[in-house]
Amino acid sequence: MSGRLTQGGGAFDIIKIGSCVFALKNKYYGGKNMKTVKKTAMLLVTLLLLAVCLTACQTTYAVTYKVTGMEDLTVKTAKGERAVAPQIATAEGVTLDGWYIDQAYTDEYDFEQAVTKDVTLYARFKSTSYAVVYDLAHEAEGAQAPVQESVNYDGTFTVKDAPDRVGYEFKGWTDGEKVYLAGDTYTVTRAETVRLVATWEYKTVDVKFVYYGGEQTQKVLYGADVQPPAEAEHDFFCYELVDWEGGSLKKVTEQKTFTAIYDYVPTNPYMFDYEYDQKKNGWLLKRKSDFALPEELAFPDAWQGRAVVGLAEDFNFYDAIGTLKSVYIPDSFENGVNMGGISSLSTVIIGEGVKTLPDFAFCSCTDLSYVYIPASLEGFGGAAFADCPSVSFEFAENSKLIYTNNSIRSVDGTKLFYVDGSVSHYTVDRNVTWINVGLFGAFGYNKMPPESPLSSVVVDADLKLLPTSTFYLCSNLEKVTFNGVIEEIGGWQEYGETTEIGDMVFTSILAYSAFHISDSSNGAGKLKSLSFKSGLKRIGRSAFANIDTLESLSLPNTVEEIAMDALGRNIWGTDPLKKIEVTGDSDTDAGVIYGDSDNFALLVRGTGMGAAGSEGDTLMYVAKSNASVTVYRIPQGVTRIAPLALAYANNIKELVIPEGVTVLYGGSVANMASLESVTLPASLISLKAGISDSPEDGADEYLPFGESYMNLDIGILSGCYSLVNVNFEELINLEAIGRGAFSNSKVEEVFIGSEVRFIDYSAFKGVAARFAVDPDNEFYCSENGHLYDKEKSELIKGFYRQAKVEDIADTVEYIRTNSFYYAYGLSEVATEIILPENVFIVEYQAIYAYDIGKVSVGGGIEILGERSVYADNMDENWAPVANSFDVEFRGGSAPIVLSEAFCKDTLGTITVPDGAYETFYAEFSVLGFSDYIDATGQRTVTYNFVNGSGESPEAVTGTAVKNMPVPVYGQSGEMYFQGWFSKDGSTDGDWGEKASFPYFYKGEGNTATLYARWGDEKYEDGTFAFAYTIGLGSDEEPEDVNRFRIFNGDVFLVFDVEETAIYAVYATIEISEKHLLTFETYYLYGDGSIENTYGFLFMQGSTVLIRLVYTDLPEEGITEHLFMVNTWA
C-alpha cells in the first residue's frame, strides 16, 4: 500500500514493493540539460523499484540511482541478480529517456545483465514533442496545408499563413478557444497535438477594366486571377494591347481598376523616304518605288527622333487604288492628308491630335464606310467627303463636331462643314453663320462627278458669305430660297490658289462661283430663278455666269460691288434670261446697281470709262430672251458696255450705242442673230477685241472672265450674220478696228475714216464688202474695192463679190491672212483668183474659200503659208468635191510650202512651167503635194536598189523616187546606212555620186540602179531621209550635245517620245527671230509617211518629225543648239 507522508514541510512520494519501502524526496522538475523544453514545468517523479529482498547472508552490490537535483538512492542487489529499472513519475511534458553508467549519457545500462559489482546509474530525461496540425477546413484540389515542426510542452511557435482559397477571405486559425492570425505566437499549454482549423468567409471583389471603346466591371472570386475582356483589343488595326495599368492581375483581393495600355504600330517606316520640312520642323513622307503600300496603312509618326508631319507633294496612291482598304492618320499629321480618289478605301481613322483635313481629303473614296472623328478635329476643307455614298462617322467623346440633320457641324451648330450628298432637300437653319466651301457641290476626284439628287435648298440663315462652288454641278437643283440675308456671293478664284503650268492656268473646282451649275458633261441644270433679300453687298466674279437655265434674277439695290463678269456668260445658243429685276428704294439704299422699266438691263453706276469724276455707268448685262425688246437704245450716261453684255440678244434688230462710249470690248455685241442695224457713237475710238480696259488690248492675252481665261477673239460685232447697216461714215474718231470686229457680217460697204491707224487682218474676216478709204488716211488706201496698206504692198482685204478677181494691184507683195476668207451665206463670189507677179508671200488662210475653182500664182512667189490656197469646196451634203480646184504656178522657182497649204480633198492638178517639174516636185514631196503636179511629158524610170549587205528593197517605177528606201543590214555586227550611191564601191571604194531624195535619174535610158553603202558611224545631215536625232536637253548642255548644222530651207529633226506630254522645241533666240520662218511637227511612221500632230501633245512610243524652215542663213550654214523640253516634267 502506498500513502503520502509529510516531514518538515517536504513532500515525498512513497512506493512499496514487496516488504521494502522507499521514500524519494521531492518531485523531479527536470534539469539544466532539458534544453528542448521552452518553459520549466513542475515535475512529479515517481520511482518504482522492483526490489529483490536480500537476505542477510547473501553477497550484495550497491546500485546507486542518481537523479539530478535529488538525493541519490542506493539499492543493494544480490550477486548474480539483475538490478531493477525504476519507474519515475515525471511532470507533464517530461519522460525518462533511460539510465546510463556515465554522466555523459554515452552508455545506456542493460538491466537484463546480472549485477557483478557496485554500479552508479544516471537518469536521463527528455521533453515530450507535440505535433502541430493545420486543418484547411476544405478539400479544394491542390490545396496544401502549412507544415509546422513539433513543439514541446509549454513551447511556442509562429502561426503560419493559410494558402489562398479562391472565393474566400482567410479569417484566421482556431484551436477551439481562440482565433490566431498568421504571424501570431502560439503557446503550447496542453500535452497533446495542437490542431489549428482555418476559418473562412466567402467573398468577391469588383474589378473594372477601362479600354478603348468601353469599360467592363467583373465580379471576381476573392483571391482569383482576373482575365481581361477579349474585347479590350483596340478597334484600330494599328494599335496593339501591350499591358494593363493598375497592378497585378494575379490573386486579386481588393477592388481595382485596370486601364489598357496600347502601343501604336505603324506601317514599316523603312518603306518610305523622308524629306525634311523646315517650316513644319518635321519629316514629310515620300514613296519608295520598290515598296507597294499595304492593304492597311498606318503612316509613321516619327523618324530619327523627329515627328513625321505629313506627305510630300509628290506622294501618290496610284498603285494603291483597288488594294488599299484602311488608313490611320497619326496625331503628328495635324493637317491631315489628301487621299481623294482611292475607291477601295473603306476605313479612315483620324488620330487624336489631327486638327483639320485638306480639301478633297477623301473625295470619291466610293467604298468608304467608316470614318473616326477625334475630339481634336476642329473642321475640314471643302468636299472632304464628297462622293462617298456609304460613309458613316463615329465621333470621339468631347468631339468639337457633331452629326445631325444629315450634316456635320460644330457643336454649337454655327458652322456647317458637310451635308450628305444623298439628300434631295435641305434647310440651312437660322443658327448657322458659316458654311463650308462647296457645301452642296457634286464633286469627283479624278473622275466624273456623280449626279446630285439635290432639288431644293432653303437658307434661313444670315450668312456673311455664300462661298465658292456652293452649288457646283447641282444639275437637279430647281429652287433655292434665301429667307436670310446673304452679304456676299463668292466669285470665281476667290478661294485657294491658281496654278500655272506653261501657258495654262489651273483653278481648283472649289474656286468656281457659288452657282456653277451648268456644265458640258452634267448638263444645263434646272434652276430658273434666284432672288436675294436686301442686305446683299458684294457679288463676286462670274457669280451667275454658269446657270444656263436662269430665266429670272432679282437683286436688291443694296449691292455695293459687282464684278464685271458677274453675268458674263458665253452661251453658244439662246440665253433663257427673260427678267433682271433690281428691288429696293433708291432713295434709302446706297447700292450701285439699277435696272429699267422693262426689267431688261442691269446697269452699274460710276463704273464707266469716262474721265475721272464723270466716269459714267456700265451696261452690265441684259435679259437676252426678253422678246419685248427689239429696238434697244442704251441709256445716256453709259460709257462702258461690258464684254458679252449684249451677245446672243437675238431679239434685238436695231441697236443704238450712246455718245460717250469710246471703247467697245470684244464680244460685247457679238452673235446677235437678228441685228440688222447698229448705230455707233462718233465718240468711238477703238473697236478692240480684248476684255481689259486698255485700248491696246487686241485679245492677244488670255484674261480671267466668265470662269475661264478668255481673249474674246470673237470680235465686237462678229457673228451678226444679218448685220447690213453700220454708220461707218460717222465714225470720225475711230482709230482702231480690232480682231474679228465685223467678221461674218453681211456688211456690203465699208468706209475707213481718216483717223483709222490699225485694222486687224481678221477684222473683216468672211466679209465680202467693197472698201473705200478716206484719201486723208495715212495708213490705208483702196482701189477697185480692195483694201490695201498705204503703199499697196499688202492686200489686207480683197473684194471678191465678183466672178473673177484679176484686178489686184501689181505692187502687192503680201496677200494677208483672211484676204479672201469665204463669206458666210454668199454664193456669188469669185471662182478664180489671179495673184500678181510681185506676190512672194501668201499668208495663213489668205485664200480660204468655197466654190473656188482656180488660183494662179505669179513667178515671184516664195512662201505659201498653212492653208494659204485652200479650196474647201463642198457639195449639197457637205462632202468635199474631189478634183474641183486647180493651182497654176507661172514662175519656174518652187516656193516653200507649209502644212496643208492646199486641200488634198479637193485639189485636182498643180500646173508648173516647162522645165520646172523637178524643182517643184522636190519642194512639194515632203508634204505629199508632188503627186498632184502635172507630169505630162516627164520620163518614167525604173529604179533598182542593190543592198550588198542584206535584202534589197523593191524597185520603184515613176518619174522620181519620192521617199528614200531604208535597207536593213543583214550581216553580223552593227553598221549604219550611209545612203544610196550611183556606183558599187564595195570592192574599189568608188561609190560615185550620192543620191538625194526625191531622186531623179539624169542618165540615159529608163533604168537606174543605186547601191547601198554602210559605215561604222551613224550618218545624219538634217534632210528628210537623214534627219538629225534630237533629245531632251537644257541650256547647260556640253558643246557636243544637241548641236546641229543648219542651212537655208528645210531642216528635219526626229524625236522619239518616251513619255506622253506637251513638248516644246528650244532654240537660240537670236537665230530663231532672224532666220526661222516656221516649224511644223508630224508623226513619222515606219513606211516614211507623216501625219500632222496638230499641237505639241506627243504620245508615248511615237516618233515625231520636226520640220524647221530657215531663210537668210550664210550659204555654208551655221551651228544651232536645238533641244526638246517636257513641259509637264
DSSP string, 518-529: -BTTTBS-S--E
Stretch 354-362: mean pLDDT: 98
**Residue 272 has which C-alpha cell?**
518610305
Q: Give the dihedral sign, CA 737/742/743/746.
A: negative
Amino acid at 1002: K
Q: What is the mean pLDDT of the chain?
A: 89
Stretch 390-396: mean pLDDT: 96
Stretch 1011-1037: mean pLDDT: 93
Residues listed for the chain:
1129
**Chain-centre distance for alpha carbon 351:** 19
**Chain-centre distance for alpha carbon 49:** 116
Angstrom distance (rounded) from CA 355 to CA 259? 26
- Give the pairing type, strands 1097-1098 and 168-174: unpaired
Picking from 953, 982, 976, the residue whose alpha carbon sits closest to that of residue 1088 is 953
Angstrom distance (rounded) from CA 896 to CA 1115? 17
**Residue 826 has which C-alpha cell?**
454668199
State pLDDT tens for residues 508-524: 899 999 999 988 777 88
Name the CA radius of gyration of the chain, rounded.
58
DSSP H stretches of helix in 543-662: none
State pLDDT tens for residues 216-237: 999 998 888 999 998 899 989 9
Q: What is the DSSP letter of 344?
A: T
**Residue 406 has which C-alpha cell?**
444629315
DSSP H stretches of helix in 925-1040: none
Angstrom distance (rounded) from CA 146 to CA 186? 15
Angstrom distance (rounded) from CA 913 to CA 888? 9
- Give the pairing type, strands 703-704 and 709-710: antiparallel
Angstrom distance (rounded) from CA 653 to CA 422? 47
Instruction: Give residues with Cβ within 8 angstroms of 613, minimum separation 6.
Output: none
Angstrom distance (rounded) from CA 470 to CA 485? 16
State pLDDT tens for residues 134-189: 988 888 777 888 988 888 878 898 998 888 888 888 899 998 889 999 999 998 88
What three-state secondary structure class fits 919?
A: helix
Query: Among residues of the chain, what percentage have pLDDT more than 70?
Result: 92
Angstrom distance (rounded) from CA 306 to CA 286? 16
Angstrom distance (rounded) from CA 764 to CA 687? 12
Residue 280 sits at the vertex; the CA angle it makes with 274 and 281, to the nearest 5 degrees, is 70
Phi then psi for residue 830, to 5 deg, are -65, 140
State pLDDT tens for residues 69-102: 788 889 898 988 998 888 777 777 778 889 999 9
Angstrom distance (rounded) from CA 171 to CA 461? 72
- Label residue 1049 left, alpha or beta by phi (over 0 means left) and psi (-120 to 50 means alpha): left
Half-sphere exposure (Cβ direction) of 1004: Cα atoms closer than 13 Å = 0
Q: Above 80 in pLDDT, residue 331?
A: yes
Q: Which pLDDT value is given to residue 698?
A: 67
User: Strand pairing partners for 1043?
Assistant: 1121
Phi then psi for residue 253, to 5 deg, are -125, 5
State pLDDT tens for residues 411-461: 999 999 999 999 999 999 999 999 999 999 999 998 999 999 999 999 999
Angstrom distance (rounded) from CA 136 to CA 162? 7
Angstrom distance (rounded) from CA 837 to CA 834? 9
**Residue 481 has which C-alpha cell?**
430660297
Strand blocks (E) in 495-575 = 499-501, 504-506, 529-531, 538-539, 552-556, 561-562
Domains and CATH numbers, the chain: 6-127 (2.60.40.4270), 130-202 (2.60.40), 204-264 (2.60.40), 777-923 (3.80.10), 939-1019 (2.60.40.4270), 1028-1126 (2.60.120)
| Torsion angle (degrees, nearest 10) of CA 440, 443, 448, 453 | -20
Q: Above 90 in pLDDT, residue 932?
A: yes
**Residue 855 has which C-alpha cell?**
488660183
**DSSP letter string, 1074-1110:** HHEEEEEEEEE-TTS-EEE--SSEEPTT-EEEEEEEE
Cα maximum dimension of the chain: 200
Is residue 743 within 8 A of residue 763, CB to CB? The reply is yes
> Bigger pLDDT: 42 or 743?
743
Predicted confidence band at 536 (pLDDT cuts at 50, 70, 90)? very high
Predicted confidence band at 477 (pLDDT cuts at 50, 70, 90)? very high
Q: Above 70 in pLDDT, residue 1?
A: no
What three-state secondary structure class fits 27?
A: coil
Picking from 233, 316, 303, the residue whose alpha carbon sits closest to that of residue 266 is 303
**DSSP letter string, 685-718:** -EE-SSSSS-TT--S-S-EE-SSSEE--TT-SST
Q: Which range among 436-445, 662-671, 942-951 shows the weakest confidence by mean pLDDT? A: 662-671
H or E segment to which residue 1070 belongs: helix 1069-1075
Neighbours of 757 (CB within 10 A): 12
State pLDDT tens for residues 562-597: 999 999 765 556 789 999 999 987 666 679 999 999
Q: Which range among 14-23, 247-256, 334-343 shows the weakest confidence by mean pLDDT? A: 14-23
Angstrom distance (rounded) from CA 958 to CA 940? 5
Angstrom distance (rounded) from CA 679 to CA 727? 6
Is residue 1058 within 8 A of residue 1015, CB to CB? The reply is no
Picking from 285, 411, 389, 280, the residue whose alpha carbon sits closest to that of residue 338 is 285
Angstrom distance (rounded) from CA 1088 to CA 1090? 7
Half-sphere exposure (Cβ direction) of 119: Cα atoms closer than 13 Å = 23
User: Strand pairing partners for 942?
Assistant: 957, 1007
Q: Which pLDDT value is given to residue 712?
A: 65
**Chain-centre distance for alpha carbon 137:** 73
Q: Above 70 in pLDDT, residue 45?
A: no
Angstrom distance (rounded) from CA 921 to CA 912? 10
Predicted confidence band at 835 (pLDDT cuts at 50, 70, 90)? very high
Specify the pTM: 0.72
Is residue 114 within 8 A of residue 96, CB to CB? The reply is no
Predicted confidence band at 3 (pLDDT cuts at 50, 70, 90)? very low
H or E segment to which residue 275 belongs: strand 272-277
**Cβ burial, residue 22 (10 Å; 0-12/13-18/19+):** middle
**Chain-centre distance for alpha carbon 402:** 26
**Residue 596 has which C-alpha cell?**
429699267
Question: From residue 618, how far is each of 366, 577, 613 by CA, in Å?
Answer: 47, 19, 15
Half-sphere exposure (Cβ direction) of 391: Cα atoms closer than 13 Å = 31
Is residue 122 within 8 A of residue 66, CB to CB? The reply is yes
Place of cell 460717222: 730
Picking from 130, 176, 177, 134, the residue whose alpha carbon sits closest to that of residue 153 is 130
**Cβ burial, residue 367 (10 Å; 0-12/13-18/19+):** middle
SS3 content of the chain, % helix, strand, coil (to 5): 5, 35, 60
What three-state secondary structure class fits 431?
A: coil
User: Strand pairing partners for 195?
Assistant: 133
Is residue 394 within 8 A of residue 360, CB to CB? The reply is no
Picking from 992, 1024, 1020, 1021, the residue whose alpha carbon sits closest to that of residue 1008 is 992
Is residue 122 within 8 A of residue 96, CB to CB? The reply is no
